[in-house]
Structure 1
Amino acid sequence: MSFEIKSTGEVYDVIIVGSGAGGGMASKILSEAGLAVAVLEAGRDFDPAKEEDRTQLRPPWESPRRGAGTRIRPFGDFDQAIGGWDIEGEPYTRGEGTSFDWFRSRMVGGRTNHWGRISLRFGPNDFKRKSIDGMGDDWPIGYEDLKSYYDKVDKLIGVFGSKEGIYNEPDGFFLPPLKPRLHELYAMKGAKKANVPIIPSRLSMLTRPINNERGVCFFCNQCNRACQAYADFSSGTVLIKPAMAKGKVDLYTHAMVRAVTTDDSGNATGVSYINTVDMKEYKLRSRVVVLGASACESARIMMNSKSKSHPNGVGNSSGMVGRYLHDSTGADRMGILPDLVDRDRYNEDGVGGMHVYTPWWLDNKNLDFARGYHIEYWGGMAMPSYGTGFAMDTMRKYLKDEFGNPSPNGGYGEGLKKDIKRLYGTTLGMSGRGESIPQYSNYCEIDNNVVDKYGIPVLKFHYKWTDQEIKQAKHMQDTFEEILTDAGAILLGNKPGPDTMYGLAAPGRIIHEVGTTRMGNNPNTSVLNSNCQAHDCKNLFVVDAGPFVSQADKNPTWTIMALAWRTSDYIVSELKKKNI
């Protein structure tokens, strides 16, 4: 579309803000229903199959930083997470005692270009946690309301895994799983001794063909760079671009949405946005507005959408927009496997993620914290890049000669290279990703004293972990140490203690923020109804993780897409009935 005029005469059926998992799914379902759709993305266009966008299979030495991260690519110069926690000209602020870090993505497909593609369904218990432990709130829907949509997402996108029959880790429609790599076999050995289950992971990479539009994984271990064969799931390549090819979908890039526009009756009429290239403001009109900009960004848009009908922001008469913000918990530990020093070198790449994982396996009634976590395993022989290697004291400690003396190679030059090679492929690490308890006191609000470079008021965050999350992190560290030790690993570094909240990552660092526009049956305590429709504005919907009442110990992406599909079906039905 052209940005030469400030308003087009065309009225879309639906405007979708955001091109990530939720926005991408909505664009596909709504356009295939025959609706005219506009998708607005704050970042640039992106296609990993185009040479100008491709970083897959490029060696680190092609980067001037040898693969090190930058401000706009914090996970690495070739990683396809364009955005970050600190974007120039796009600040946010924090309340006293808050350490929340907000990750924004600035590219078509959003965070789905980079993520680990851990594709887990929420289980029956995950929708009814208050009924189980008395904390937080139950969702107004249950697993059975989403099961058919989870099934559809499995079949459309593809996910490998194994049927395990675990009640709260529901099975789906799985492609063949992958064999564990050597470091994962050691993890399995340690977990078995520690009586911790490990099962094949569930990731959305194609281990066999599912249609003619996408290739099959060729196991380069670089899914974080986005796949030029489209063998892994990214919203841009699997949802949005196919929707554009099949239906009426107009993609607006470099479109930073300022607000949802409304009429005198309080109904949404479209959006206003800033073109980040020419820095001018434009307006688009539509019958329905769908926000999928990320939980915090959608909340920001809603709170900035003030009018006579919505003095506190659209959909915010309850004051609940921005409330109950929460992120997954996260903690890590790693060790060196002495058995693998001087190991044989061979290609063990696999997919860009874990081949096995541990689902939550314990009963919280026997523990001192509520909710659970899963364990992700990593290590092995990934392609070396900037930061590969160990400090000299680490190598001298773990590399001994036949007499038990420190490595004779020395700590510099050729000797240093020899020691790094000896330790290459010996690491085994694990990360816990768990469920936190939603708190009314954890929230984001508009900071009316600060604007970004586009003149839009920014978010101010208020967030603190509770004892529940800290105790969960302690349990993670105890479990990590037991598994690593039982696997025969030598632990690296000191065990995190209470002074660091047991290594608990700062809120926002796991990039699973949810809950800012949560759903519920009571308009006084929620923002959306069970169909992700705003209580106060019947033609406004949210399809990112904002509607989540609670996070679960699983990654949110599969539930975002299942909910977005369900919401899109509802929108089509309501339009046909002329209810919106």
Structure 2
Amino acid sequence: MGDLQIKKQPKQYDAVIVGSGAGGGMAAYVLANAGLKVCLLEAGADYDPAKHSSQLKNPWESPRRGASTKFRPFGDFDGCFWGWEIDGEPYTMAEGSDKWDWWRARMIGGRTNHWGRISLRFGPKDFKRRSIDGLGDDWPISYEDVKPYYDKIDKLLGVFGSVEGLENDPDGIFLPPPKPRLHELMIKKAATGIGVPVIPSRLSILTKQINKERGECFYCAQCGRSCKAAADFSSSSALVQPAVRTGNVDVITQAMAREVITNKEGIATGISYVDKTDMMEYQVSGRVVILAASACETARLLLNSKSQRHPNGLANSSNVVGKYLHDSTGAALGGVLPELFGRKRYNEDGVGGMHVYTPWWLDNKKLDFPRGYHIEYWGGMGQPAYGFGFGMQGMNGKYAVNGVKKEAGGYGASLKEDVRYFYGAGVGMAGRGEAVPRIDNYCEIDPKVVDKYGIPVLRFHTTHSDYEIKQAKHMKETFKEIMHEMGAIITWGGDDDASNNYGLANPGNIIHEAGTARMGNDKKTSALNKWSQAHDCKTLFCVDGSQFTSQADKNITWTILALSMRASEYIIDEMKKQNL
């Protein structure tokens, strides 16, 4: 497009931020509260959980009884707009690649409106994995560099948990954890009986009120719908709205970022975006540009931002932008507990997530895979909804009531009897593990495909290594031991074997992708320095998962938040020194 067709925003901002999820929301919050003028660009719609959440609706209030759609893959009441597929926004796979499952949110707050809110700190070892096992690379920072920011976000956003003193699972500043529910007590007894630790989980849900703006959890177990009382953390309610209330933030929704604008010296000066409502291109300018669009979208933006000074894409003189793409590993298994068939009914909803979990407990030096995993558990008496299967198919359709065998299923009174009998007896578990970042797992620009806005799309090259497959095998073996110890009947996931990588999820499927613009001390092998700042362009910062040198066996959101706060405070300091 020529300059005459581009509408340029006359206002000059201190910072232009792309993306309003964990990284972008935190950057907007910190900068706005320091008095900087911020423009926050979001590719999706406005979203305020207090107004738009489907919390407390019943299944019959959905025309699909809560079933999923392309717009809401996790169900009709889920807090996130879009997901694996978005109309008019394709992505492609390279020949020979495993399928990459790319989840994309399009709304204020992004994925933080529906995530599991598992809020784990990385530990000291997680920043120095190469020094331990010789694989991948160490981060240019240590746990001690990030700890002050973990402490700050614990206080600012709230996280419950328990002090355990574990070496590589650092304790936080915790709110009281909720008590384990019945199925969790049974899991704990069985797992600890075979040497697998089970401790209170660590979720960013307010079991006590921490400020006037946010409420306290009332245990409806619907955090995935996003909380109207803001008792769970989402960027929209806990960061973006408070930032806007300072008067220092302009939010532009339905803004599909096309490229980072640079001047003749190659310095980032703003963002060019397509307004989805009129399909016109606009430009907005700032002293710094902060990308927080998610690991893959940020890589796409950088690779599409070519210029005379940056012919290989912005911040890509190292040729690592898009490289070292990796996701948490994931494998799961589930079943039923006959001991709970026909159980008494009572309210045990709890928080919208697990009350207990298992941190990594073994020494990888004694195993045939190099990185660990944690275990997440579920089960019990959640609100019945569409797709509630009761595990009947896993027992060949037969069970006994008062010693009398009968067939499961049917309709009418027979079906109701089955539902009542199996309700609350389900149990399951999933591993979430660390993959080893590899340069041959990457995304690049597809030279032949554009989206409906005319922006070139990503093409993925990803495969699992033997490390991840062996890790998934260990997960399944552990789950089966716990289920056996509980006396559970496995109804799905138990037959996985080498033919399907032991049920290992497609890369990307766990929605923890990271590593496409990783930080490091050497500008020849990394895109960013230790402050999340581009080596090649001092006015460009990346504060989402793209900056990760490696993941841990932990969910990454809490570390995204901490690193975004750290980078934002660095930006403020550098502006005061007139270095930016």
Instruction: Give me the TM-score of the superposition, normalised by structure 2.
Output: 0.97
Shift in Å, 1:400: 1.4
Aligned equivalent of 2:96: 97
Q: Tell me if structure 2 keeps the 8 A contact 1:515–1:547.
A: yes
Aligned amino acid, residue 136 of structure 2: G
Aligned equivalent of 1:288: 288
Aligned equivalent of 2:469: 470
Cα distance in 1 for partners of 2:86, 2:400 equals: 45
Aligned equivalent of 2:26: 25
Shift in Å, 1:391: 6.8
Cα distance in 2 for partners of 1:577, 1:48 equals: 39
Q: How does 1:4-43 map to 2 (within 5 A)?
A: 6-43=7-44
Shift in Å, 1:32: 1.1
What whole-Å deviation, never above 9, does each CA across 1:252-310 have from its counterpart, x for those lacking one?
00000000000000001101000011111000011100000000001100100011111
Aligned equivalent of 1:321: 321
**Alignment gaps of 5+ in structure 1:** none
Aligned amino acid, residue 456 of structure 1: I
What whole-Å deviation, never above 9, does each CA across 1:59-85 have from its counterpart, x for those lacking one?
011000000000010000000111111
What whole-Å deviation, never above 9, does each CA across 1:103-144 have from its counterpart, x for those lacking one?
100000000000000000000000000000010000000000
Aligned equivalent of 1:480: 479
Aligned equivalent of 2:56: 57
Alignment of 1:85 onto 2:93: no
Aligned equivalent of 2:114: 114
Aligned amino acid, residue 276 of structure 1: K
Q: Which runs of 4+ in 1 moved over 3 A?
A: 390-398, 401-404
CA shift in 2, pair 1:402/1:535, >3 Å? same
SS in 2 for 1:251: strand
Q: How does 1:72-471 map to 2 (within 5 A)?
A: 72-98=71-97, 99-390=99-390, 393-394=393-394, 397=397, 399-403=399-403, 405-407=405-407, 411-471=410-470
How many correspondences in the alignment?
A: 574
Cα distance in 2 for partners of 1:330, 1:447 equals: 28
Q: Tell me if structure 1 keeps the 8 A contact 2:24–2:291.
A: yes
SS in 2 for 1:29: helix
Cα distance in 2 for partners of 1:97, 1:193 equals: 44
What whole-Å deviation, never above 9, does each CA across 1:3-58 have from its counterpart, x for those lacking one?
x98112110000000000000000011111111000000000001111xx130000
Which segment drifts farther, 466-475 or 8-17?
Answer: 8-17
Cα distance in 1 for partners of 2:411, 2:207 equals: 43
CA shift in 2, pair 1:392/1:232, >3 Å? closer
CA shift in 2, pair 1:369/1:5, >3 Å? closer
Q: Tell me if structure 2 keeps the 8 A contact 1:124–1:143.
A: yes
What whole-Å deviation, never above 9, does each CA across 1:378-432 have from its counterpart, x for those lacking one?
011111111012476446645214456334x763332022112200110110010
SS in 2 for 1:83: coil
Cα distance in 2 for partners of 1:124, 1:247 equals: 39
Instruction: Give me the TM-score of the superposition, normalised by structure 1.
Output: 0.97
Q: Tell me if structure 2 keeps the 8 A contact 1:396–1:406.
A: no
Cα distance in 2 for partners of 1:392, 1:134 equals: 47
Aligned equivalent of 1:559: 559
CA shift in 2, pair 1:81/1:266, >3 Å? same
Aligned amino acid, residue 242 of structure 1: P
CA shift in 2, pair 1:390/1:93, >3 Å? same
Aligned equivalent of 2:49: 48
Identical counterparts, % of pairs: 62
Aligned amino acid, residue 123 of structure 1: G
- The CA RMSD measured in Å over matched residues stands at 1.3
**Alignment gaps of 5+ in structure 2:** none
Q: Tell me if structure 2 keeps the 8 A contact 1:395–1:419.
A: no
Aligned amino acid, residue 282 of structure 1: Y
Shift in Å, 1:196: 0.3
